[in-house]
Amino acid sequence: QSAPLWSGRFSDTPTGELELFGASLGFDQRLWPQDIQGSIAHATMLGRQGILSAEDVDAIVGGLRGIAADAAAGAIAFDPSVDEDVHMCVERVLTERIGEAGGRLHTARSRNDQSVTDSRLFAKEQAATLYEAALDLCQAILAVSREQGDAVMPGYTHLQPAQPVLFSHHLMAYFWMFLRDTVRFKAAWEAADASPLGAAALAGTTYPLDRRYSADLLGFSHVIPNTMDAVSNRDFIIDLVYACAVCQMHLSRLCEELVDWSSAEVAFVEMDDSHATGSSIMPQKKNPDFGELVRGKTGRVYGDLVAILTVMKGLPMTYDKDLQEDKEPMFDAVDTVTGSLHALRGMVSTMTVKADRMRECAHEGYMAATDLADYLVGKGMPFRQAHGVAGRTVAYCVQAGVKLQELTLDELRAQCDLFDEDVFDWVDIDNVVARRDTYGGTGHEAVAAQMDLAVEKLAAA
Ligand code: ARG
């Protein structure tokens, strides 16, 4: 166990548990690809500016590439009792391998700009992955919606039968949610797309750096114009975790419905065997576990957002060690949402949709009552009065134990003499749905137009 890189002015250093308490290597080791990428860019820039010799740069870049290959093969030991964080680990291994040149890499750089450069590279990569994963789920939802074209189901408010809707209309509501999530992931990508590298500890450096050049090498569109802001800003993490929290909330809502729809009593869908689990004691069980798990994981993503917001709230300029707490919430949020999006995509694309059962339920619950009132409005009755007649007709049905569609004309006329033969067609469930053909409505043509728009949006995404 050797002394830390910074131990020059120390006569003793933290050891044992305390050393481990301060270490971030246990979690920031996953940033080794970004750390090496950032170091290669930094060294290359130092060479171009004449700050490092070409030989040193060659040795450094070659050494870093070797470490990357070994790390990819699992041959680099990340041990928090040896190195405090990923930056010191890579630098130590590099120096062991190439000697003195390794010690020149950290010229004009601090771990403060280095660490947040790594995090920004990681955040951009993850935001892009999440963007694609949300789009994939949108595609899956659209495909199932198309397949289920005419399937009618009960639409609910207050979880009570309200008006019948197309199953595709219901499902497409989620399409738009996840499409909005792609916009948030894109915004999070943009927030991360600026280079802090070259800010050094907080004040910039005395070396003639070309920050634009290292930013170019790393694919950053912008260079952060204030070195203090560069090392202390974590808005990009908050933006990403926020986008994750909203997306996970959307996923949780969809899961709530899938779990509900999977119940024996509702039975609108059945999860495919490949996306369900059984019970260790009850042989008959088939549980929509993954939906429940995604719903349950929502709390931790909200927790990640609260955690990072709270880390930031009292921080004075510039780098404070509190900022080491920025990474775990980001890692946890992106991992959780990536896994959840993937699970949902699989569940939605493989589930069996029980259209007959939905249609049967769409006939229950007197959901054509609004249309019954509208019918009377068509015959000249004011809506408020028609609402009363339809309400009394429903009460009659509840008493008699029949559906609205099963009433005889005599029974209807006993409620109001404006009813005629054409009322039966009028309250037919498919007609009730088809009639709602205003823009964005559940009518078959309106939903078809909605899905066409969805295709256009996907093509433009
Ligand atoms: N492991 C640290 C972090 O993740 C790196 C930056 C440390 N800088 C410092 N001045 N101690 O935040």
Query: 129-145, pLDDT tens digit by residue?
Result: 999 999 999 999 999 99
Given the CA of residue 319, which atom of ligand 1 is nearest to it? 10
Handedness of CA 66, 71, 73, 77 (dihedral sign): positive
| Predicted local distance difference test score (pLDDT) of residue 1 | 57
- Mapped onto helix, strand or coil, the DSSP state of residue 166 is strand
Provide the residue type at 73 as one letter: A
Q: Which residues are catalytic?
A: 158, 279
Q: Is the pLDDT of residue 98 over 70?
A: yes
Q: Is the pLDDT of residue 110 over 80?
A: yes
pLDDT in tens, 416-439: 999 999 999 999 999 999 999 999
Q: Which residues contact 109 (CB under 8 A, 6 or more apart)?
A: 42, 197, 198, 200, 205
Q: How far is the CA of 213 from the centre of ligand 1 (A)?
A: 24
Q: Which residue, by CA, sits nearest to atom 4 of ligand 1?
A: 324
Structure tokens at 450: 């909605």
Which residue of 39, 92, 112 sits with most ligand 1 atoms within 8 Å of its CB, as the best mutation to test the pocket?
A: 112
Which residue of 20, 78, 321 sits with most ligand 1 atoms within 8 Å of its CB, as the best mutation to test the pocket?
A: 321
| Predicted local distance difference test score (pLDDT) of residue 161 | 94
Same CATH fold assignment for domains 13-107 and 112-207+221-360: no
Q: Is the pLDDT of residue 309 over 60?
A: yes
| Predicted local distance difference test score (pLDDT) of residue 251 | 98
Per-domain boundaries in the chain: 13-107, 112-207+221-360
Q: How far is the CA of 4 from the centre of ligand 1 (A)?
A: 13
Residue 347 CA to residue 205 CA, distance in Å, equals 53
Model ipTM? 0.95
| Predicted local distance difference test score (pLDDT) of residue 287 | 94
Please compute the mean of the pLDDT values over residues 353-373 and round it to a whole number: 94
Structure tokens at 52: 């490092």
Q: How far is the CA of 262 from the centre of ligand 1 (A)?
A: 48
Residue 159 CA to residue 406 CA, distance in Å, equals 24
Q: Is the pLDDT of residue 365 over 90?
A: no
Q: Which residue, by CA, sits nearest to atom 2 of ligand 1?
A: 324
Structure tokens at 341: 């999006």
Which residue of 21, 24, 31, 32 sits with most ligand 1 atoms within 8 Å of its CB, as the best mutation to test the pocket?
A: 24
Please compute the mean of the pLDDT values over residues 103-130 and round it to a whole number: 98
Please compute the mean of the pLDDT values over residues 434-449 and round it to a whole number: 97
| Predicted local distance difference test score (pLDDT) of residue 25 | 98
Given the CA of residue 84, which atom of ligand 1 is nearest to it? 1
Phi and psi angles of residue 48, each rounded to the nearest 5 degrees, phi first = -60, -30
With bands split at pLDDT 50, 70 and 90, how would you rate the model's confidence at 83?
A: very high
| Predicted local distance difference test score (pLDDT) of residue 323 | 98
pTM of the full predicted structure? 0.95
| Predicted local distance difference test score (pLDDT) of residue 2 | 75
Given the CA of residue 85, which atom of ligand 1 is nearest to it? 1
- Mapped onto helix, strand or coil, the DSSP state of residue 149 is coil
Q: What does CATH list as the number for 13-107?
A: 1.10.275.10
Second CATH level (architecture) for the domain 112-207+221-360: Up-down Bundle (1.20)
Q: How far is the CA of 315 from the centre of ligand 1 (A)?
A: 15
| Predicted local distance difference test score (pLDDT) of residue 3 | 83
Q: How far is the CA of 121 from the centre of ligand 1 (A)?
A: 16
Closest to 248 in 3D by CA, of 153, 144, 337: 337
Calculate the average pLDDT of the chain: 97
Name all residues whose Cβ lies below 6 A of ligand 1: 24, 28, 85, 111-112, 115, 319, 321, 323-324
